[in-house]
Amino acid sequence: DFDRGWGKVDAVKALEISEGVSRPVSAFTVMLLGKDPFDATVTFGVALPNPSPATITIYNILGQQVKSISINGYSGLNPVLWDGRNENGITVATGVYVFRVESNFGILHDKFVFIR
């Protein structure tokens, strides 16, 4: 509906994320939780059914690796912050990027638009 926006608000999930609380998840999923318009940071949500290391790798549209972030994930939703900088500490340009998340539960990927 163009008049009201899109999607359904999950207030409990939003509160849990803001308070750092995690509820159990049954599948490995990844979602883009948000982009802070003031400081060019992006937050990914990596949901793991059990504790597992995970790596988020970000690529530019040419397929070149921009940044790799490794976590020791816990069971539940793991917020992972990317500061919008490449491996050399330089803020990347506005554009379309691809992220790939690898864990013991598989590999997931998607694209997103980064605006600084």
Cα–Cα distance between 18 and 14 in angstroms, integer? 6
Residue 72 CB contacts under 8 Å (≥ 6 apart), including other chains: 51, 53
CA dihedral 61, 71, 49, 75 (to 10 degrees): -140
For residue 1, name the pLDDT band (cuts at 50, 70, 90): very low
- The pLDDT assigned to 70 comes to 97
In sign, the C-alpha dihedral spanning 95, 65, 36, 110 is positive
Q: Above pLDDT 90, what percent of the chain?
A: 61
**Tens-place pLDDT, residues 60-92:** 999 999 999 999 999 999 999 999 999 999 999
Is residue 53 predicted with pLDDT exceeding 50? yes
- How much is the pLDDT for 34? 76
